[in-house]
Amino acid sequence: MQAVILAAGRGTRMKPLTDETPKPMLEVAGKSLLEHKFDALPEEVDEIILIVGYLANKIRERFGENYNGKHMCYVEQDILDGTMGALARAKDLLTDRFLVLNGDDIYAPQDIRVLAQSTEWTVLGLQRDDLTSAAKVVFGENRLVKDIIEASHHDGGSGFLSTGAFLLDTKIFDYPMIPKVPGSDEYGLPQTILASKQPLHLIEASYWIVITDPEDLVRAEVILKQV
């Protein structure tokens, strides 16, 4: 099984920490954000495809072609054209079912293990009383997803946030890429999934740590000591 990790962004809100270090290489609890991701992957994942961009050479030099027995591939995202644009760069390398994870978030290993066992397209969502910080997952019976609404387009409230972690397969490339918002140069993975009309299931995360600014690194240290 393969895992695609989106790690091409510049991390501008993390400056000056990202002046010479790509954001996914910043450390929390003694290891990089990428290593937290790698270590959360279940045994059945034998290949990691890293979508890289900003300071990509530092990521390549650090991890090379192997991480704890998992083969490492690197794909350049030369233009930051959204999450679907990033995933499309890996199209020729993907063969069947695969995970998609954000390079600068921290996920619970048990959640990624359950996600990897899904046989249908699936998104990992976190239940929260306040949804203002991320995309909202709207779902119906049997937790079939009806919509994923960007943070700037919903009114908060309680429910499930999208963690940006998905289980998909290569059928996603049979459908046209959809802009994140109409007229945008960025193509959104959630928007493309929803436009495909393929069933998308929701499973619940036990925790999800988003790293947006330097203070989040401190907060993540505290959370990881408690889980």
Q: What is the 3-state secondary structure (H, E, C) of the chain?
A: CEEEEEECCCCHHHCCCCCCCCHHHCEECCEEHHHHHHHHCCCCCCEEEEEECCCHHHHHHHHCCEECCEEEEEEECCCCCHHHHHHHCCHHHCCCEEEEEECCEEECHHHHHHHHCCCCCEEEEEEECCCCCCCEEEECHHHEEEEEECHHHCCCCCEEEEEEEEEEEHHHHHCCCCECCCCCCCECHHHHHHHHCCCCEEEECCCEEECCCHHHHHHHHHHHHHC
Q: How crowded is residue 55: how many other Cβ atoms within 10 Å of its Cβ?
A: 18
Structural domain count, the chain: 1
Q: Residue 58 maps to which CATH number? A: 3.90.550.10
Q: Could you read off the pLDDT of 145-157 as tens digits, one per residue?
A: 999 988 766 666 7
| Predicted local distance difference test score (pLDDT) of residue 203 | 97
pLDDT of residue 159: 85
- What pLDDT, on the 0 to 100 scale, is given for residue 154? 61
pLDDT of residue 143: 92
| Beta carbons within 8 Å of 197's beta carbon, 6+ residues apart | none
Give the structural domain span for 209.
2-226
Give residue 179's pLDDT band: very low, low, confident or very high (50, 70, 90): very high
pLDDT digit string, tens, across residues 40-86: 999 999 999 999 999 999 999 999 999 999 999 999 999 999 999 99
> What distance lies between CA 47 and its chain's CA centroid?
16
Of 199 and 159, the one with more pLDDT: 199
How large is the average pLDDT for residues 118-142?
Answer: 89
| Proportion of the chain above pLDDT 70, given as a percent | 97
Average pLDDT, the chain: 93
- pLDDT computed for residue 156 by the predictor: 62
CB neighbour list of residue 22: distance below 8 Å, 6 or more residues apart: 7, 11, 52, 54, 55, 56, 58, 59
